[in-house]
Amino acid sequence: MKKYIFCALLVLNTSAFVQAQDPAGTSARKFQWRKVTNDAFALGEKLEFQISWGLLEAGQASMKIENIETVNGRQAYHLVTESKSLPFFDVFYKVRNKDESWIDVESVCSLKYEKHQHEGSYIREEITTFDQIAGRFDLNEHVQGKDSVKKEGDIPEFTQDVLSALYFLRTLELEPGKEYYINAQSGDKSYPLKIVVYKKEKVHVPAGNFECFKLEPFLVGDSGLFRAKGRLWIWMTTDKRRIPVLMRSKIFVGSISAELKKIN
């Protein structure tokens, strides 16, 4: 189950939506902070999910806006997601993961991202900072038992990390039949993503019944975030909060789903 039990929460690990641009020459670009209208989320929100593998409940996860902090002189929402396997699955493959993102309050783009990954005996720490003005990123990665790695490079404007992208998507005016584009960063790679909004559907999850948009992200180009994880569908409420209530991934070992069970 390595890499699969919690992939439903991490795609969007999952992914912001500005038209993809060529990052070449970004250090010389003229950058101006945008103003994104956000009626979807605010400080204090917490979403709790149950993670299932087929018919089996495999784990639990949460997504919350913990506080507002200052990052490089900018006000930023501090987002935290945590996922863990249930005791039964701990025996076979224990998962304790935590992802953190600091997203600019005004422009809703990533300023900093941290991944704390503990899956079985595999432990990995990653810290990435995004200089949106200069169009650069700096990444520090350490895998237990190996030397630390530092990387840097160019990024397009308003690049999103794999967590902040979901929150940016929530601010958009979604419509069935339309497509939305995003620049997303995972590790040291930037990936242009296309999000297709298929239709409206009524969805039942432990938290209740919701009218939702059914979405699917697609990779634009030849490589990227979703290649090894199969297809992913996301059901997001049609009201102004755009709450993700269901995420389902079809992979070669079956189906993984994350269902909303509580909204705080």
- Enumerate residues 6+ apart whose C-beta is below 8 A from 5: 51, 53, 58, 59, 85, 89, 93, 95, 256
Q: pLDDT higher for 178 or 186?
A: 178
**Domain regions of the chain by residue span:** 7-263
Q: Which residues of 108-123 are buried (b: 16+ CB within 10 A; e: fewer)?
A: bbbbbbbbebbbeeee
Look up tokens 């992208």; give the residue: 165
Tokens of 196: 């297709």
User: Please, which pLDDT band fits residue 191 given cuts at 50, 70 and 90?
Assistant: confident
What pLDDT digit, counting tens, does each position of 96-150 carry? 999 999 999 999 999 999 999 999 999 999 999 999 999 999 999 999 999 999 9
Q: What phi and psi, each to the nearest 5 degrees, are found at residue 174?
A: -85, 145
Of 227, 210, 209, nearest to 218 (Cα)? 227
**Rounded to two decimals, what is the model's pTM?**
0.86
% of the chain with per-residue pLDDT over 90: 71
Q: Which residues of 41-57 are buried (b: 16+ CB within 10 A; e: fewer)?
A: beeebebbbbbbbeeee
Look up tokens 């930037």; give the residue: 190
Question: Quick count: other Cβ atoms within 10 Å of Cβ 105?
Answer: 15
Amino acid at 101: S
